[in-house]
Amino acid sequence: MAAVASPAQVLVVDDEPDLRTLYELTLLREGYRVEAAATMGEAWQLLEQRRFDAVITDMRLPDGLGLDLLQRMAAQQRPERCVVMTAYGSAENAVEALKAGAFDYLTKPVDLKQFRSVVASAIQEAASPERRAPRAAPAAGERTGGHGALMRLVGDSAPMRLVKERIAKVARSMAPVLVRGESGTGKELVARAIHACSHRADGPFVAVNCSAIPEALLEAEFFGAKKGSYTGATADREGYFQAARGGTLFLDEIGDLPLAMQSKLLRAIQERQVRSLGSTQEEEVDVRIVSATHKDLAAEVQAGRFRQDLFYRLNVIEILVPPLRERREDLPALCEALLARIAHETGMTPPALSPQVLEQLHAHPLPGNVRELENLLHRALALSDGTQLQVDFTPTAATPIAAADAAAPASAPAGQPAVPSDLQAYLDQQEREILVQALRETNFNRTAAAQRLGLSLRQIRYRIARLAIATPGSEDPDDTRTGA
């Protein structure tokens, strides 16, 4: 006969008797075994006597802070998942608690529905196969997927070693991570490595480009939709949150999300619940949030374009991915890895890079980072017919956007405007120069360039293709390439 699982054990720490009783009764009704303490000293005595599944503690206690209790538990590698409650509900306090190792935080007055949901999530994680063991990042290579993901982050420079060490540390936690870096640096690779090194590696990894979703469809895409909830909804569909259950939801270019959607996203992250479009029922979702942006979100908050509370929710732990110009020593290894992958995809044998070409690459600005480097090498391999690879650094091939002078207007007498011999060619050149300038000023981000020029993404794509403007990498940043 199968053994009956014992009820989860929860420790509640709060110095207000009425609230302590309320929390205790709420948890008892959920079927948990509950112990209560009024001070940090009493709580520690109970912790020394037994192990719990979850600890719910107030931030302010008569003999210390909830943060002190958290840090003491972390120092002794206690396995309990800790939820911090605070009536001093600044986002800074919440961030401090999460950085100190808290599973989550709640703001007083506590909503009991949310309270039950958060405690259940903490207990569910404690009941994983790693139950009764402290959360720790798997060692490099411990998980095949994690090792493979880290191996794709090519380079052994000091900045890259720092990134890999940071990944190993944050992978053990549930805390949200914000990955920052320029376009083409490999932010999605970092997010995938965090997922692959974590205890959620067997769950799904769902990547979302927030800048590529039409605003009218954002809610349905994120939270799902019921049949008939909008024109064209011919069947029920799940959203990104539902698809990422038990795994990681990667929100790329989070800085491009409209303010109205930011509010809904914040609620979903806080409540761990979503409501599909057209539904009256909320459903629980267990996902870890990793987000990325090339923008300075703190500046976006100051400018009123990004919610401060969402910023603090997402930016619990930050990883800054260095641009290629700050890790030039990684170029030989990056070139080797990129050429091997390109050759595998094309069925070609990659020639060796000459020392002269490597020197040229070191001197080349590469504003598009690894994506631009891959673009150069892909072109060079396609045009190569010798034993050594030669990268063409002429303006038409090496610079992200080639200069066009064939359509220049004829010279005119001083003081008079030039009269073009080919009006259409002249207009195309002017349009091209404007597009080139906008793309350069936005670091070749087509979405941002389109917004600057008052165009739609489809319109700017059409113009770039029609005018044969070469840009580094793909039209929408996806950071899924080798490197970082």
- Tokens 């404690």 belong to 126
Least confident among 226-235, 338-347, 464-473: 464-473
Handedness of CA 55, 56, 60, 66 (dihedral sign): positive
Task: Provide the pLDDT for residue 392.
Answer: 65
Assign residue 145 a region: left if phi > 0, alpha if psi is -120 to 50, beta otherwise? alpha
- Cis before 109? omega within 30: yes
Q: Which fold has domain 325-389?
A: Helicase, Ruva Protein; domain 3 (1.10.8)
For 5, phi then psi, to 5°, come to -65, 135
Give the C-alpha distances (Å, rounded to integers) separating 314 from 179, 244, 249: 10, 17, 12
Q: For the residues of 302-349, what is the DSSP string, one character each?
A: HTTSS-HHHHHHH-SEEEEPPPGGG-GGGHHHHHHHHHHHHHHHHTPP
Structure tokens at 136: 């720790």
- Judged against a pLDDT cut of 90, whether residue 163 lies above it is answered with yes
CA 450 to chain centre: 23
Least confident among 123-132, 340-349, 428-437: 123-132
- Judged against a pLDDT cut of 80, whether residue 390 lies above it is answered with no
Structure tokens at 123: 């207990």
**Residue range 191-218: average pLDDT?**
90
Is 296 or 415 the better-scoring residue by pLDDT? 296
**Cβ atoms of 283 and 274 closer than 8 Å:** yes
Task: Provide the pLDDT for residue 91.
Answer: 56
Helix (H, G, I), strand (E, B) or coil at 382: helix
pLDDT band at 289 (very low <50, low <70, confident <90, very high): very high
Which amino acid is residue 430, in one-letter code?
Q
Task: Provide the pLDDT for residue 270.
Answer: 86
Task: Provide the pLDDT for residue 403.
Answer: 39
What is the domain partition of the chain in residue ranges? 9-126, 144-322, 325-389, 403-468
Beta strands per DSSP E along 177-311: 177-180, 205-209, 248-252, 273-274, 283-284, 288-293
Residues 6 or more apart from 443 whose CB is under 8 A from it?
182, 183, 294, 367, 368
pLDDT band at 129 (very low <50, low <70, confident <90, very high): very low
For 189, phi then psi, to 5°, come to -60, -40
What pLDDT, in 10s, does the model give residues 229-264? Answer: 777 777 888 899 999 998 999 999 999 999 999 999
Handedness of CA 60, 61, 62, 67 (dihedral sign): negative
Give the C-alpha distances (Å, rounded to integers) separating 66 from 298, 382, 385: 27, 61, 67
**Cβ atoms of 186 and 279 closer than 8 Å:** no
For 442, phi then psi, to 5°, come to -110, 20
Strand partners, 207: 250
For domain 9-126, which CATH number applies: 3.40.50.2300, 3.40.50.300, 3.40.50.2000, 3.40.50.720? 3.40.50.2300
- H or E element, residue 84: strand 81-86
Which alpha helices (DSSP H) does 102-186 contain, by range?
A: 112-126, 144-151, 158-170
Please state the length of the chain: 484
Task: Provide the pLDDT for residue 76.
Answer: 84
State in words which class domain 403-468 has.
mainly alpha
Task: Provide the pLDDT for residue 344.
Answer: 75
- H or E element, residue 451: helix 446-453
Q: Which fold has domain 144-322?
A: Rossmann fold (3.40.50)
- Judged against a pLDDT cut of 50, whether residue 5 lies above it is answered with yes
For 164, phi then psi, to 5°, come to -65, -40
Which amino acid is residue 348, in one-letter code?
M
Beta strands per DSSP E along 300-433: 317-320, 352-353, 388-389
Same topology between domain 325-389 and domain 403-468: no
